[in-house]
Amino acid sequence: MIGTLVNATTIIIGGSIGIAFKKRLPQKTIDLVFQGLGLVTLCIGISMFLDNSSLIVVVLSVLAGCVTGMTLRVGERIDKASARLKRRFSSNSENFTEGLITAFLLYCIGAMTIMGSINEGLGKGPEILITKAIIDGFAAVGLASALGVGVLFSSIPLILFQGSITLLAFVFGDLFNEAIINDLSATGGVLLAGIGFNLLRLLKIEVSNMLPAILYAILFSYINTLLTAAV
């Protein structure tokens, strides 16, 4: 898990630099950065969705994710966990939860994340994840300057997510085929688009309650792969 640990470290370093910059920037500049980040997030989400492998998998994943998220009150639990972290570290960041979830989705949903974690699990080295770590570190500067300290704490779910994929690849071999990677990225793109709308203050979408869609995307895509192979 060397690549994942390096990735988490660069996010913390980049995020810390971004927070330091934020204290020196006028509020109007911060607001403009916030809007720019919203536009970029929306565009990234749309581009990821357009690269989907199976539209039906994405639709079913999002719908099932919404139902599961609301039933299990995922958003409420994340808010409570975020509030505990804020109290624990004496943070007064207004966008703590938004920063954490936005950064997590930007960093963890994409082909580079999946392929890098799989390669490391298969013993092919951490080069992809280290390259991603450098990119994420620079991105963390801009994210943290707009969204605050929550971006730094996104390193925790990043370690859990990428580490789990690495472990699965180590135990089960090359579990994720290209179709699964594309479907996972496309489903994550839908959630990112929702965050983009939230950052632009155009809508208020409960993206945190949609997070189970990521797990459903893997499950439904795997089932779709088996059905396609059987035909």
Q: What is the per-residue pLDDT across 17-39, written as a single tens digit (0 to 9) for each? A: 998 887 787 878 777 877 888 88
Q: What is the per-residue pLDDT across 99-119, written as a single tens digit (0 to 9) for each? A: 888 899 889 877 788 888 988
pLDDT at 198: 86
pLDDT at 174: 63
Percentage of the chain lying above the pLDDT 70 cut:
95
- Burial-class residue 27 by CB neighbours within 10 Å (0-12, 13-18, 19+): exposed
- Higher-pLDDT residue of 220, 182: 220
Count of H helices and E strands in the chain?
11, 0
- Higher-pLDDT residue of 22, 61: 61
Q: What is the per-residue pLDDT across 75-88, written as a single tens digit (0 to 9) for each? A: 888 888 877 877 77
Q: Quick check: 204 pLDDT over 70?
A: yes
Q: Quick check: 147 pLDDT over 80?
A: yes
Distances in Å between the alpha carbon of 226 and those of 3, 19, 216, 221, 231? 31, 47, 15, 9, 9
Neighbours of 186 (CB within 10 A): 26
Q: How far apart are CA 21 and CA 9, in angstroms?
A: 19
Neighbours of 57 (CB within 10 A): 27
Residue with tokens 């709308």: 197
The token pair at 220 is 């439904």
Least Cα distance to 7 among 121, 149, 156 occurs for 156
Confidence band for 93, pLDDT divided at 50, 70 and 90: low
pLDDT at 90: 58
Query: In a 3-state reduction of DSSP, which class is residue 24?
Result: coil
Average pLDDT over residues 213-223: 92
Distances in Å between the alpha carbon of 116 and those of 119, 124, 127, 135? 5, 9, 7, 13
